[in-house]
Amino acid sequence: MPYRTVPAWDRFTALTHAFFGRVANPTNADRRMTVAAACTTLGLSPATTLDLPIQVHGDRVAVAEDGPAGEADGVIVLTPGRIAAVVTADCCPLLLIVPGARAAAAVHAGWRGTAAAIAAKAVARLCAVTGVVPAELHAALGPTIGPCCYEVGDEVVAALERLGEPGRASIQHRPGQRDHADLRRVNRALLIAAGMNPAQIHLVGGCTACATDFPCHSFRRDRAAAGRQLSVVGWR
Ligand SMILES: [Zn+2]
């Protein structure tokens, strides 16, 4: 399975992470096979159980050790061997790691989650449960629909603008066209506002709808036929 990683994270030799790209049959019915193939690709047992929340476009971040994540859009893992995961198709997949504590989180941030500042909430929760400060975290924002392709309506513009400057700065107004938004830009700004070091925030991959060098599923492009790409993170 094709995937991308963060080159700067190569030095964390006990870390497992990946942003997977488009696969052939990624429908829900095939998800178990996709997960098994993804785990095999990363050298994990194909029987590995991922901590994958039931994503609902909210702002709840669950801790896997508390029990099944249930409905949530972020999941934290605190135990080596556990792998946090989310699925996306245009929404922003965000991976957070705490090298000192061998903890990690996977977060799904569509426009609703982004507008609800789930990125900042994930940083706060991860810091609270590991006892570190935000500057000790590292983050990676994976393939996301870009401002090149992400036309948005008034509802999305209003929701992002309620975040203040990070949201306003992410909206591109174009004469004679609908507005376009840059979800990764907002989420990166939210991470920095939450206290993270900008040098420890990485962007991986490009636009899910138009990038050809690393093809991804795109809901905007493929609608009902769109699959989902898997993003995973954890410590061995
Ligand atoms: Zn694009």
Domain span holding position 185: 3-235
List the pLDDT tens digit at each of the 236 positions of the chain.
899 999 999 999 999 999 999 886 555 556 788 888 999 999 999 889 899 999 999 999 999 999 999 999 999 999 999 999 999 999 999 999 999 999 999 999 999 999 999 999 999 999 999 999 999 999 999 999 999 999 999 999 999 999 999 999 999 999 999 999 999 999 999 999 999 999 999 999 999 999 999 999 999 998 888 888 999 999 99
Determine the pLDDT at residue 227.
84
CA distance 97 to 215: 25
Q: How far is the CA of 185 from the centre of ligand 1 (A)?
A: 14
State what percent of residues in the chain have pLDDT above 90: 88
Q: pLDDT tens digits, residue range 115-133?
A: 999 999 999 999 999 999 9
Give residue-wise pLDDT tens across range 181-191.
999 999 999 99
- Ligand 1 center–CA 90 separation, angstroms: 10
Cα separation, 49 vs 199, whole angstroms: 32
Distance CA 210, CA 188 (A): 21
* Distance from the alpha carbon of residue 135 to the mean position of ligand 1, in angstroms: 31
Specify the pairing of strand 201-203 against strand 138-141: parallel
CB-based contacts of 55, cutoff 8 Å, min separation 6: 71, 72, 73, 86, 87, 108
Supply the pLDDT for residue 27: 54
Domain count, the chain: 1
Here the tokens at position 32 are 């178990």
CB-based neighbours (< 5 A) of ligand 1, an ion:
146, 148-149, 207, 209-210
Q: What is the CATH number of the domain that holds 225?
A: 3.60.140.10
Compute the distance from residue 145 Cα to the ligand 1 centre, in Å: 6
- pTM value is 0.96
